[in-house]
């Protein structure tokens, strides 16, 4: 059966996210463990953690994915932002384990004009430091980016050069965002194009590293380096692209939608569209 879900809100208390997932018919989901726009995280109360774990068991939903806050920049040349980002990453590794979750996803950040080499060094140090400070079973998923100016991790080669320098590579996996890949120049429309993109991924990183797909259409054209998500089938990847993506090996991985919130289509309608295109 297809593993399919949404990015869902934890508004109210953290266990409420599971009610939302069940209401929408998700068998997996993604969430933040905290407010994604602030540096400070509220401590998780024992009661809500217990309630989260209990509801999760009862729901049969598995696995769950936690996304790191937006403010993190693991490649930042600014010392204050960098050290806060490393602390936040450690905190997320701890919170994820406390919630009984196994995966946390992070973006690789921006070098802000200081160059890829320097950015890479900072990310590698950040991850290695966090892993030695927090020893647990949580897998950190590195997400490919659209390649907007100064952003790190848009090419498979760049992601591999980061992953290869992580001392405990078993604790790393990859999250493949279809919108970001397409915007970064990896074609995902025809069947041949999807296969070619996956073959390149396999040669450079290895398909076994793929643990999650962010299934998003793209407002920007192929190679546009524009990070703007679109409803499934309504963007430049289109229905044909998603049919081929879903038929490929990507379709057998956990699929999380991060599609827009607007009046054109609801989350539940996007889920329905994915199921229809997967037929």
Residues marked active site are found at 37, 67, 70, 107, 143, 177, 180, 214, 227, 229, 258
Instruction: Give the Cα separation of 61 and 4 in Å (integer).
Output: 10
- Asked if residue 160 binds Zn ion (CB under 5 A), the reply is no
The bridge status of strand 103-106 relative to strand 64-67 is parallel
- Asked if residue 227 binds Zn ion (CB under 5 A), the reply is yes
Smaller CB distance to Mn ion: residue 14 or 146? Answer: 146
DSSP of 20-51, one letter per residue? HHHHTT-SEEEE-SS-TT-S--PPPPHHHHHH
| 144 DSSP 8-state letter | P
- Residue 214 site contact among Mn ion, Zn ion, none (CB < 5 to 8 Å, cut-off depends on kind): Mn ion
Instruction: Give the Cα separation of 192 and 195 in Å (integer).
Output: 5
- Asked if residue 214 binds Mn ion (CB under 5 A), the reply is yes
What is the smallest separation between the CB atom of 229 and Zn ion, expressed in angstroms? 6
- Asked if residue 143 binds Zn ion (CB under 5 A), the reply is no
| Phi-psi domain of 11 (left: phi exceeds 0; alpha: psi -120 through 50; beta: other) | beta
What is the smallest separation between the CB atom of 66 and Mn ion, expressed in angstroms? 11
- Asked if residue 177 binds Mn ion (CB under 5 A), the reply is yes
Instruction: Give the Cα separation of 224 and 147 in Å (integer).
Output: 9
Smaller CB distance to Mn ion: residue 15 or 197? Answer: 197
Give the CB-nearest residue to Mn ion.
214
- Cα–Cα–Cα angle for 58, 60, 65, nearest 5°? 110
Q: How many residues bind Mn ion (CB under 5 A)?
A: 3
Chain residues 11-70 in contact with Mn ion, contact rule CB under 5 A: none
Chain residues 141-160 in contact with Mn ion, contact rule CB under 5 A: 143
- Residue 243 site contact among Mn ion, Zn ion, none (CB < 5 to 8 Å, cut-off depends on kind): none
What is the smallest separation between the CB atom of 145 and Zn ion, expressed in angstroms? 8
Mark 197-208 as b/e (b = at least 16 C-beta within 10 Å).
bbeebeeebeee
- Asked if residue 230 binds Mn ion (CB under 5 A), the reply is no
Element (H, E) at 246: helix 238-247
145 with 152: CB under 8 angstroms?
A: yes
Give the CB-nearest residue to Zn ion.
227
Window of 12-20, 109-117, 155-163, 175-183 that interacts with Mn ion by CB under 5 A: 175-183
Smaller CB distance to Zn ion: residue 53 or 225? Answer: 225
Residues at the contact surface with Zn ion, assessed by CB under 5 A: 227
């Amino acid at each position: 059966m297809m593993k399919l879900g949404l990015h869902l809100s934890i508004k109210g208390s953290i266990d409420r996210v599971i009610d939302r997932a069940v209401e929408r018919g998700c068998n997996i989901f993604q969430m933040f463990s905290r407010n994604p726009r602030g540096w400070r995280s509220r401590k998780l109360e024992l009661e809500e953690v217990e309630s989260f774990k209990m509801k999760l068991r009862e729901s049969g939903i598995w696995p769950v994915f936690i996304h790191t806050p937006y403010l993190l920049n693991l490649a930042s040349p600014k010392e204050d932002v960098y050290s806060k980002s490393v602390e936040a990453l450690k905190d997320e590794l701890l919170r994820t384990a406390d919630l009984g979750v196994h995966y946390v996803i992070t973006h690789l950040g921006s070098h802000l004009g200081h160059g890829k080499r320097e950015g890479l060094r900072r990310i590698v140090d950040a991850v290695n430091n966090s892993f030695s400070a927090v020893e647990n079973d949580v897998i950190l998923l590195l997400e490919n980016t659209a390649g907007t100016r100064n952003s790190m991790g848009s090419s498979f080669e760049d992601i591999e050069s980061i992953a290869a320098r992580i001392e405990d590579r078993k604790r790393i996996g990859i999250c493949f965002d279809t919108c970001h890949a397409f915007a970064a120049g990896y074609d995902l429309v025809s069947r041949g194009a999807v296969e070619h993109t996956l073959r390149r991924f396999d040669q450079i990183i290895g398909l076994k590293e793929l643990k999650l797909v962010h299934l998003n259409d793209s407002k920007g054209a192929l190679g546009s380096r524009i990070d703007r998500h679109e409803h499934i089938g309504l963007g430049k990847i289109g229905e044909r692209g998603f049919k081929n993506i879903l038929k490929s090996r990507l379709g057998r991985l956990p699929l999380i939608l991060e599609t827009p919130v607007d009046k054109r289509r609801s989350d539940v309608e996007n889920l329905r569209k994915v199921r229809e295109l997967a037929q």
